[in-house]
Amino acid sequence: MRFAVLLLSSALLAAAFPGGAPQRLPLAPQRGSPQDLEIAGDVPGVAQGEKRFVRYADLVKLPQVTFTVRDDENFPPPVQLSGVPLDALLPALGIGGGKQLIAAICDDGYEGHYTGEYRAAHHPFLVLRIGGKEPANWPKGPDGKNYGPYLISHASFSPAFHVLAHKDQAQIPYGVVGLRFFDESAVLHQLLPPGAAVPAMQGYRIAQQNCLRCHREGDIGGTKSPFGWPQMALIAQGNPTAFGKYVVRPNSVNPEANMPANPEYDAATVAAITAYFRSFAPEEQK
């Protein structure tokens, strides 16, 4: 067994909120501490474009789940992690109704993205304690960086899908400073490629999970890269060969590139990603 306890989403929610309705988290208008978690998006009581903040002291009042995790690449295994399931945060913030996509905003511009499908398959949780310790006593992360203010992990992770040579990837960001809540159907529609050609639709599935973490489209996506969807569309259209090489081995095109390589991507996978981004190029460029 690769972890201590495996709970399905209904059991996670039952464990998080035993005996009745969830406790509502108070939202402050300003950040009072670096440990306060930013909340934005489609949240009751938070106007569009505004932010609110949740104190760590209020988060730890919520019932938590605890797992011995053995396959989170941020940690040497095993490590005990405790926290609140992302699905349990929805009712605690008064969010109900339709599907929500949750974006985890990191201090370096990276974003993790959690659709309803992803949460149902992998049960991610916001980590509040590592080895039973609060953030002030957390160990250092990769390259000596702090894991905090927050991070997201799973009890265990097994890929739920494959698209060509791309397999479902764990969204396990650290340095999480905030969560933003989106109407999932609106966001996914925004990311759909114009037209419905098979390669572009395959590329859409890959880009939604991989590229969106560092590249931005509209009001969603990471800002770690200065190149958003429009810029990548132009590159994919104007120089598809260089675009494909960059996707697989960025440093072969730009020795100073910070983008992780994807050496497992074969020609068909690269073609699908290229077709996806080319579909967003202006008509006069196609």
Q: What is the pLDDT of residues 232-244, one digit of tens each?
A: 999 999 999 999 9
Which positions ≥6 away from 136 have C-beta within 8 Å? Answer: none
Residue 195: the pLDDT is: 81
Residue 285: the pLDDT is: 62
User: What's the start-to-end Cα distance of the chain, in Å?
Assistant: 52
Mean pLDDT of 124-152: 93
Taking CA atoms, 2 is separated from 7, 155, 168, in Å, by 13, 9, 19
Residue 4: the pLDDT is: 35
- Is residue 150 within 8 Å of 177, Cβ to Cβ? yes
* Confidence (pTM): 0.90
Taking CA atoms, 51 is separated from 41, 47, 57, 180, in Å, by 8, 8, 19, 9
Is 278's pLDDT higher than 90?
yes
Q: Which residue has the higher pLDDT, 8 or 114?
A: 114
pLDDT band for 20, please (50, 70, 90 cuts). Answer: low
Residue 40: the pLDDT is: 98
Is 16's pLDDT higher than 70?
no
Residue 21: the pLDDT is: 59
Least confident of 8-22, 64-78, 199-213, 244-258: 8-22
- Is residue 104 within 8 Å of 111, Cβ to Cβ? yes
> What domains are defined for the chain?
1-191 (3.90.420), 193-286 (2.60.40.420)
